[in-house]
Amino acid sequence: MNYQQTEIPDYNFAYLDEQTKRMIRRALLKAVAIPGYQVPFAGREMPMPYGWGTGGVQVTAAVIGPEDTLKVIDQGSDDTTNAVSIRKFFARTAGVETTEKTADADIIQTRHRIPEHPLREDQILVYQVPIPEPLRFLEPRETETRKMHALEEYGLMHVKLYEDIARHGHIATTYAYPALINDRYMMDPSPIPKFDNPKMDMMPALQLFGAGREKRIYALPPYTKVKSLDFEDHPFVIQSWEDVCGLCGAKDTFLDEVILDDQGNRMFVCSDSDHCNERQAKGHRGPQNRDDSLTEEVAL
Amino acid sequence: MDLGPLTAPLSGLENPAFASNRIFRDVLEALSRPGTVVPAPENLETPGKLNRAATGFLLALADMETPVWLSPDIRDIQTEKHLKFHTGCPVVDQCGQAVFAVADARTSNFDFLNSLAVGNPEMPHQSATLLIMIDGFTGPAALTLTGPGIHSKAVLAPDPIPDALIQWAQANQRLFPCGVDLIFAATSSLAALPRTTRIEV
């Protein structure tokens, strides 16, 4: 469907009215100019509940144009409810092309993952963010966290990570892992697994973050330094698995654990469904997917 | 207020939803990759002394929430009427109140630069965006740019580029996270220097 050819559209292009889009666009421009700083914006009610990506949807609606191709993922997957409903929302209100292929997308809206396929300079990654303030669970008052950001006073977060080490022997934070942006602002990368944090560092693509309920927008320009917090004697490490993907045999992707029955059987599969399908199409097979010709032997 | 002789207003953006999206995306590209020169809208009527890039920027991003300040040398009744008619933006006398400030590199007096809003450490986004109208990006002196958005190094040669503006922009960078974001609006193209960009002559 081409939006421009429809007779009388039910909504303005991409649902939001032009004044709202201008307000969001101005917030986005300031967010890009101050990497990692949360810009307040007048978040609107969207036709979906808070927690379903209303922030990301508003950012996408302000950014997307009729020529763009959109991909939406939820925990890496293109075919879960949240991803399907947001993709349909924009197909209907903006008439844009949608895709499940990371490489074919101009704009990728994501909930809680960064695609495994490296992103390019001409792509924009839009994150759905539930709690944008990394210090919120340590200091509930906005007046105080705002002051802490102004003074670059992030000792509290280091204490939190230190307490992790004292109690568990290692930093137990595994998702929404705080990072320092361009040596200045501490930023919550949204609840992506810490596995994805290194991908944000010096990423060629522009990264935009929208928090609908909290009404905050922030951004990472391309090629911006993103340093995950750590200690000299407890350096930042990402998750690793002893298993491989049961379907495609990948050893270097983020894996989801799937319980198969009540006998304790389980399998691991790539969280990024597009990446996994692409590998299977190339003939890669994992241990639970060995019915036909094998092109890759998986050592178990 | 004297609105001057009654003349038909110039037209604004054709198909505003799509045109303003295109302009915004180009500005977003320019600000997120400092030094990148992006095209200005084609076939756009320009009031008074505003050029195409500056007119397109204001029509796409200004509205009743964004006071606009025009340097006295480029402020005239036609420009003011045009902006108010198409965007509803207030045109203010004090540049410190402006969300968008516009000046011309050839003709403006740059004494106003230090009066622009730079935000404060708790609210650094409450700062002005400054549009400087220039001829193009083939000037004799290239600025070397580093900072977020730039892979290693970028060069930009705005023409003309007054010394006062370079010195101010270098001092502006040191105010981070406060500071003004600078847009160079040439006739047919646009580039940006956000407050994060370090500038060497």
Dist CA B176 CA B161 (whole Å): 22
DSSP 8-state assignment for residue A120: P
pLDDT digits (tens, 9 = 90+) for B183-196: 999 999 999 999 99
Question: What tokens does A41 get?
Answer: 């914006």
Out of A55, A212, A276, A286, the active site residue is A276
For residues B90 and B2, the model is more confident at B90
Examine residue B37 and state whether it is found in any structural domain, yes or no: yes
pLDDT at A299: 43
How far does the CA of residue A173 sit from the closest CA of chain B (Å)? 27
Task: Return all residues near A268 (Cβ < 8 A) that are at least 6 apart.
Answer: A241, A243, A244, A245, A246, A255, A256, A257, A258
A279: buried, middle or exposed (CB in 10 Å: 19+, 13-18, 0-12)? buried
pLDDT (mean) for A190-211: 98
pLDDT at B22: 97
How far does the CA of residue A72 sit from the closest CA of chain B (Å)? 20
Dist CA A99 CA A114 (whole Å): 16
Examine residue B7 and state whether it is found in any structural domain, yes or no: no
For residues A133 and A8, the model is more confident at A133
**Pairing state of beta strands B38-39 and A39-40?**
unpaired
Interchain contact, B122 vs A146, CB within 8 Å? yes
pLDDT at A7: 57
Size of interface A-B (CB pairs under 8 A): 105
- The yes-or-no verdict on residue A165 having pLDDT over 50 is yes
Interface contact B175, partner A, CB < 8 A: no
Q: Is A179 helix (H, G, I), strand (E, B) or coil?
A: strand
Confidence band of A205 (pLDDT split at 50, 70, 90): very high
- The yes-or-no verdict on residue A294 having pLDDT over 80 is no
Dist CA B53 CA B40 (whole Å): 5
Of the candidates B33, B65, B194, which has its C-beta nearest A222's C-beta?
B33
B43: buried, middle or exposed (CB in 10 Å: 19+, 13-18, 0-12)? exposed
Q: Are B35 and B156 in contact (CB under 8 A)?
A: yes
Examine residue B8 and state whether it is found in any structural domain, yes or no: no
Interface contact B26, partner A, CB < 8 A: no
Q: Which domain holds residue B86?
A: 13-194
pLDDT digits (tens, 9 = 90+) for B148-175: 999 999 999 999 999 999 999 999 999 9
Picking from A232, A258, A244, the residue whose alpha carbon sits closest to that of residue A290 is A244
pLDDT (mean) for B139-145: 94
Examine residue B2 and state whether it is found in any structural domain, yes or no: no
Interface contact B60, partner A, CB < 8 A: yes
Of the candidates B16, B120, B149, which has its C-beta nearest A18's C-beta?
B16
Based on the residue annotation, tell me whether A245 is a catalytic residue of this protein. yes
pLDDT (mean) for A161-184: 96
B76: domain CATH number? 3.40.50.11310
pLDDT at B48: 96
Q: What is the CA radius of gyration of chain B?
A: 16
- Which residue is closest to A61 within chain B, CA to CA? B21
Residues of A in contact with B28 (CB under 8 A): 25, 28-29, 32, 63, 206
Dist CA B28 CA B25 (whole Å): 5
Interface contact B12, partner A, CB < 8 A: no
Residues of A in contact with B125 (CB under 8 A): 27, 30-31, 34, 37, 39-40
State the DSSP string of B14-55. Answer: SSHHHHHHHHHHHHHHHHHSTT--EEPPSS----TT--HHHH
Q: Which of B25, B32, B61, B193 to mutate to test the interface with A (most CBs of A within 10 A)?
A: B32
- Respond yes or no on whether the N-terminal peptide bond of residue A222 is cis (omega within 30° of 0): no
pLDDT at A300: 44
Average pLDDT of chain B is 95
Count of beta carbons in the 10 Å neighbourhood of residue A153 = 14
Examine residue B158 and state whether it is found in any structural domain, yes or no: yes
- The yes-or-no verdict on residue A276 having pLDDT over 60 is yes
pLDDT digits (tens, 9 = 90+) for A98-115: 999 999 999 999 999 999
Dist CA B62 CA B57 (whole Å): 8
- Which residue is closest to A22 within chain B, CA to CA? B61
Confidence band of B6 (pLDDT split at 50, 70, 90): low
- Which residue is closest to B192 within chain A, CA to CA? A33
Examine residue B5 and state whether it is found in any structural domain, yes or no: no
For residues A70 and A291, the model is more confident at A70
ipTM above 0.90, yes or no: yes
pLDDT at A296: 52
Out of A56, A248, A249, A286, the active site residue is A248
- The yes-or-no verdict on residue A217 having pLDDT over 50 is yes
Q: Are A2 and A13 in contact (CB under 8 A)?
A: no
Interchain contact, B28 vs A19, CB within 8 Å? no
pLDDT digits (tens, 9 = 90+) for B46-86: 999 999 999 999 999 999 999 999 999 999 999 999 999 99
Task: Return all residues near A38 (Cβ < 8 A) that are at least 6 apart.
Answer: A31, A132, A133, A211, A216, A217, A218
Of the candidates A19, A28, A206, which has its C-beta nearest B63's C-beta?
A19
Counting the structural domains of chain B, the total is 1
Examine residue B56 and state whether it is found in any structural domain, yes or no: yes
Based on the residue annotation, tell me whether A249 is a catalytic residue of this protein. no
Based on the residue annotation, tell me whether A155 is a catalytic residue of this protein. no
- The yes-or-no verdict on residue A70 having pLDDT over 80 is yes
Alpha helix (H) ranges present in A7-108?
18-33, 54-63, 81-93
Q: What is the CA radius of gyration of chain A?
A: 20
- The yes-or-no verdict on residue A10 having pLDDT over 70 is no
- The yes-or-no verdict on residue A4 having pLDDT over 70 is no
pLDDT at A292: 54
Examine residue B116 and state whether it is found in any structural domain, yes or no: yes
pLDDT (mean) for A243-248: 95
Interchain contact, B121 vs A18, CB within 8 Å? no
Interchain contact, B195 vs A150, CB within 8 Å? no
